[in-house]
Copies of this chain bind each other. A is one copy, B any other.
Amino acid sequence: MVTRKEVAELAGVSEATVSRVFNGLGPMKEETKQRVLEAAKTLNYHPNAIAQSFARRRSGNLGVVLPYVPKVHLFSTYYFSEVLSGIGAKVKEMGYDLLLMFRSQDEESDYNDVFRSQKVDACIILGAADTPRERQQLKKLEEGGHPFCLVNQHFTGERFNEVDADHTAGSYSAVKHLLEKGYSRVAFLNGSSQFSNSGDRRQGYIQAMREAGMEPENLAHLYYEGNYSRTSGYRAAAAVYERRREIDAVFAANDRMAIGLMQGLRELGWEAGRDVAVIGCDNSDAARVTDPPLTSVAVPFYEMGSLAAQRLLEQVNGEPGGFQLKLDTELIIRQSCRKA
């Protein structure tokens, strides 16, 4: 390994000067600088990042915390893939590295562990749920003075750094679209209520339905709950089909459930886009390849990841103030909701 010392010797300067040159600090004679750079080049010197981290007491890494999801190959979900891509691009742009941290099932471990080893300067938390335990852990993180940011999850009452999407507006526009097309008995297949965006979507749904003259208290028979998996959508199909005389459209809280639902309904003889309208959320790749293609609420996951990384790293670098961002969604219309 080539050290700073050797470069200093070859260039005939002190080690401190070599550091200055490489960090672009302080005033220095152009000639000295060139001499150092040349020496570094001939020796093929490159600063040791770990030693730098050690001395600076900064790792130069951004951590991304992934939730523990049993028996699920995590990345295979559109949401994680996109968010991670967005984070990765921005992190690189800003000269950081990206450390992936997988949470374990282990009830013991709390978020502070992530920082304890000092391997990351900040972290983005994905897939957080709004449970008492989670809230408490995040508060502890905050108290510990550790910079972090949540993506696609909002904690009402807290001022955590967040980058979310406007799921309420997205759901509203989807249901509104159905109502405008003439559907009136719109069922809602929601995901787990522990995620804030489930609640948001529910609100958007209720708002649109109310504007169409349906009071929330009369909507119970139109409300179904899955867990965002394709299987849960598939299972919901039976229940929906049971009430087929009271339902002419279904809005699902994500594409996976919407797809499972369409499959299940088809097996029962009910075709999406013919016998019933279906809309999903995420506008994942899968929405394009189903039959019929799935109308879906597009969520800018990539941008959300990118923004979260950017704002968080800026904060780490001294930018003052927290942030709570909410990006727009967009309804992408395909054939699954065409009027029969």
**Nearest CB on B from A190, distance (A):** 21
Q: Is A323 an interface residue (CB 8 A)?
A: no
How far, in Å, is A255 (CB) from chain B's closest CB? 9
**The one of B73, B98, B119, B290 that contacts A302, using a Cβ cutoff of 8 Å:** B73
Residues in B neighbouring A81, C-beta threshold 8 A = 73-76, 81
Q: Which of A284-301 contact B (CB under 8 A)?
A: 285-286, 288-291
A118 with B50, Cβ < 8 A, contacts A75-B81, A291-B291 known:
yes
Number of copies: 2
CB proximity of A326 to chain B, nearest CB, Å? 22
Q: How far is the CB of A117 from chain B (nearest CB, A)?
A: 4
- Pair B286/A119 contact, Cβ less than 8 Å: no
Q: Report how many residues on chain A are interfacial, defined by Cβ distance under 8 Å.
A: 46
Chain B residues closer than 8 Å to A288, beta-carbon distance: 230
With a cutoff of 8 Å between Cβ atoms, the chain B residues found around residue A49 in the complex are 117-119
A223 contacts partner chain B, Cβ-Cβ < 8 Å: no
> Is A46 part of the binding interface, using a Cβ–Cβ cutoff of 8 Å?
yes
| Residue numbers in B under 8 Å from A57 (CB-CB) | 50
Is A14 close to B, CB under 8 A?
A: no
Q: Is the CB of A85 within 8 A of B73?
A: yes
The one of B47, B98, B116, B259 in contact with A99, judged by C-beta atoms closer than 8 angstroms, is: B98
Q: Nearest chain B CB to A180's CB is how many angstroms away?
A: 28
Q: Which 9 residue pairs of A and B lie closest in terms of their CB atoms, listed nearest first?
A: A291-B291, A75-B81, A49-B117, A46-B116, A54-B54, A98-B100, A73-B85, A76-B81, A50-B53
Q: Given A50-B53, A92-B104, A286-B286, 17 other A-B contacts at CB below 8 A?
A: A46-B117, A49-B118, A50-B117, A50-B118, A74-B81, A75-B75, A76-B85, A88-B100, A88-B102, A97-B101, A97-B119, A98-B99, A98-B100, A99-B99, A99-B100, A289-B290, A290-B291
